[in-house]
Amino acid sequence: MCGERSGADGCGDRWGCRVSDLVPALLGAPRFLIEPARTRSEYHRLRRRVFVDEQKLFAVSDLDDRDDDPRTIVLEARDSGGELLGGVRLGPATDGPDIGWWQGGRLVVEPGVRGAQRIGPALVRAACAAAEQAGALRFDATGQSRFKRMFERLGWHAVRPVTVAGQPHHLMRWPIGRIAGLAAATKNPLGGLLEGLNPGGAGFVGDDGAPVPGTDLIAACDAILPSMVERDPGWAGWCAVLVNVNDLAAMGAEPVGLLNAVGARDAGAAAKILAGLRAGAEAYGIPVLGGHTQLGVPAALSATALGRAAHPVPGGGGRAGHRIRLTADLGGGWRPGYQGRQWDSTSQRTGAELRAMQRFVASARPAAAKDVSMAGIAGTLGMLAEASGCGAVLDVAAVPRPGAAAMGDWLTCFPGFAMLTAGPQRPAAAGPAVTAECGELVAGSGVGLRWPDGETTEVLSGTVTGMGAAA
């Protein structure tokens, strides 16, 4: 592969990522291993022999600023005796904070072992895995045109021809399906499953809660993963409150009360669940009205919350042309045991801070709002767009994000408190949460990520839930 210039078995400019495990290249019997470089001197010497001496792409040296970037990773292929057979580098494509756009390059293979062992393709595959592991959502490489077919056989997409160092090249892109995979696992089946139930009632399809007919009440209901209830019962109890009050808040509702259903193997396990639920209820100021508890059964927890909203904010009130904003609490960190999946921004907040964030949507009165939950920021934006009868584009570099979270993780995790809003809205306080304009609703369907170079990569090609637009 490559990044800006070319090499013998491919070529390139950049790539980057965290790699800790050995990557065996299994071609019949293992003949080489791919692993992060311990020292880069041999790799640099091989590049000089190929790119400067053999191919004469550079007059003196092919080294550049990406080689000096501490974020750049080099993967090397070595035989069983430790001899270097080839290498590739990868890293963030832009200076400054890593926004999830990565480039691979300077793919090089020792001239004497080219072809037969397919070392170049193995390095490309290893780099793709490394980039995804690092949280990349866009992964590009600029390769010599003669290697375009090799990249395509490996699953890459050709973007457009380019000229580098006076030689014909092709910009290639590795398809990263992380966001689409999350939507498929969590939301895609809903339309078929719920057909005929008319969830939310007319005008509120796809919302986080549902207006109770004939009243100003909003009802919301969520279940917690049984595995989470089993391994972290106190956190599960807290989250049962958190996800429900977030659902109410997304519709501009003030919490009224909570009902819960608890299943546990014994009284001790049930007590831990209820302790977390009690702590959450006290922090958010929502009374527990009652529920059901059953012992001697597998771990289970669900909760239903009620709130009041004179003018509910719909999830499907957006229109093409509306700007998208994300309001999120960036404090806290990854919940232990849920690295990259659950951001805990709430358990250390005061009750006053939590309640200030919960009142944000009711005060702002946007055209549309949705609480970011299981589908992550990108998937939830897709649901807001679907309910609004349009598509969406997210400006990646403008998304508010904690410094400790990779972009790929942040756009797909449960972020604690985060609200997506669309259209005109009033100035409103959000406690410790921050707000940024970071996208827009557009005609069509699906979700695209827009990058600083103007490129847009599609991450959701159509609707998320299949439930359709709100009336």
In this structure, what CATH number is given to the domain that contains residue 132?
3.40.630.30
Last residue of a domain, one of 279, 308, 337: 308
Last residue of a domain, one of 264, 292, 308: 308
Do 135 and 245 fall into the same domain? no
Which structure tokens are listed for 457? 């990569």
Q: What pLDDT is recorded for position 205? A: 81
Number of Cβ atoms within 10 Å of the Cβ of 342: 18
Q: What pLDDT is recorded for position 340? A: 96
Task: Report yes or no on 381 lying in a domain.
Answer: yes
Q: What pLDDT is recorded for position 11? A: 42
Q: What pLDDT is recorded for position 115? A: 82
Q: What pLDDT is recorded for position 455? A: 97
Give the helix, strand, coil percentages of the chain, each rounded to 5.
30, 30, 40
Do 300 and 246 fall into the same domain? yes
User: Which has the closest alpha carbon to 256: 223, 224, 303, 219?
Assistant: 219
Do 167 and 237 fall into the same domain? no
Q: What pLDDT is recorded for position 300? A: 98
Do 72 and 214 fall into the same domain? no
| pTM: predicted TM-score of the whole model, two decimal places | 0.90
SS3 65: helix
CB 360 within 8 A of CB 429: yes
Q: What pLDDT is recorded for position 195? A: 83
Last residue of a domain, one of 308, 326, 348: 308
Q: How many domains does the chain have?
A: 3
Sequence letter at residue 65: D
458 class by beta-carbon count within 10 Å (0-12 exposed, 13-18 middle, 19+ buried): middle
Task: Report yes or no on 192 lying in a domain.
Answer: no
User: The domain spanning residue 297 has which CATH number?
Assistant: 3.30.1330.10
The C-alpha torsion from 470 through 314 and 242 to 230, rounded to 10°, is: 0
Task: Report yes or no on 441 lying in a domain.
Answer: yes
What would the pLDDT profile of 320-368 be if each residue is shown by its tens digit?
999 999 999 999 999 999 999 999 999 999 999 999 999 999 999 999 9
Task: Report yes or no on 303 lying in a domain.
Answer: yes
Q: What pLDDT is recorded for position 287? A: 97
- Boundaries of domain holding 144: 23-176
Question: Torsions phi, psi of 250, nearest 5?
Answer: -65, -25
User: Which has the closest alpha carbon to 408: 152, 206, 130, 190?
Assistant: 130
Do 395 and 374 fall into the same domain? yes
Do 69 and 125 fall into the same domain? yes
Which structure tokens are listed for 401? 């994000």
Do 43 and 83 fall into the same domain? yes
Do 320 and 434 fall into the same domain? yes
Task: Report yes or no on 447 lying in a domain.
Answer: yes
Question: Torsions phi, psi of 330, nearest 5?
Answer: -95, 0
**Low-confidence residues of the chain: pLDDT under 70:** 1-30, 200-202
Task: Report yes or no on 194 lying in a domain.
Answer: no
Q: What pLDDT is recorded for position 30? A: 54
**59 CB-side CA count, 13 A:** 0
Do 282 and 405 fall into the same domain? no
